[in-house]
Amino acid sequence: MRFDVITLFPEVFRILSAYGVSGRAVARGLVEIHLWNPRDFTQDPHRTVDDRPYGGGPGMVMKVEPLRAAIAAVRAAAPHSRVAYLSPQGRLLDQAAMVEIAQQPGWVLLAGRYEGVDERLIEHHVDEEWSIGDYVLSGGELPAMVVMDAVIRLLPGALGHDQSAQLDSYMDGLLDCPHYTRPEETAEGRVPEVLLSGDHAAIARWRLRQALLRTWQRRPDLIKRRGLSERERALLEAALEASIQAHPEEGPVEYRSKP
Ligand code: 4FV
């Protein structure tokens, strides 16, 4: 996988190539990260990349010319890559989208600043527009890093053992089950017995049951979108029943962010 990032702040991307899963993936050549600064594609002595918005209003807008030249240079260096602009107006990304993105050989990520980018640049030189969430950030750098982190961990060989990406939250459209580690007992309580049993079938069933219950309680929209198999429906009903038995005073299991 190859990422080319067009950004006014290339230095911030060091965090991806220097640390953790993404740092190891870069070191092992599973992914290449190339950084391009639009200022290097300006013609004027002030290296101007932005100007005031036509029609008035606050802030500044990124100019077409430096970005057009930068994209042309990147496309020449990475002819198989598609160009994606990160903005709140884009397609809202989720795990399924990250799996799709990871199938491509490469992406050019355009990280905007100021109020955004001149619309003509988006219309004529951008293939896709993506959003990481319905809120406004001060730049596209963090969204670009979010996409890169989420995609790099899906690359074969990026995680300790490939199997773990499959177990990730959302990979099966459900929230993740609770996790525990040593010691078995702390002041906060004891690890659920089933996890100490060594009975892998029972452990897998418990984890699915917990994931179903949590998703039902915290993100019923995901259950609606995904639907449930007969087995999952039975597991969820049993979990809901047990939860009502365990918290009779709380009545039917309504939405709650913490169990
Ligand atoms: C954003 C988002 C985002 C908007 C103007 C950068 C900012 C500023 N990008 N998902 N949410 N971008 O807020 O992707 O230039």
Which of 131, 135, 146 maximizes ligand 1 atoms within 8 Å of its Cβ, making it the mutation to test the pocket?
131
Q: Which helix (H) or strand (E) holds 90?
A: strand 82-92
Q: How does residue 161 score in pLDDT terms, banded at 50, 70 and 90?
A: low
Superfamily of domain 169-256: tRNA(m1g37)methyltransferase, domain 2 (1.10.1270.20)
- Residue span(s) of the chain under CATH 3.40.1280.10 come to 2-152
Nearest-angstrom CA–CA distance, 97 and 88: 16
Alpha carbon of 62 to ligand 1 centroid (Å): 13
Instruction: Name the catalytic one among 168, 205, 207, 218.
Output: 168
Q: What is the pLDDT of residue 106?
A: 98
pLDDT in tens, 7-18: 999 999 999 999
- Residue span(s) of the chain under CATH 1.10.1270.20 come to 169-256
Sign of CA dihedral 15, 19, 22, 23: positive
Residue type, 217: Q
CATH of domain 2-152: 3.40.1280.10
Alpha carbon of 137 to ligand 1 centroid (Å): 5
Q: What is the pTM for the complete model shown?
A: 0.92
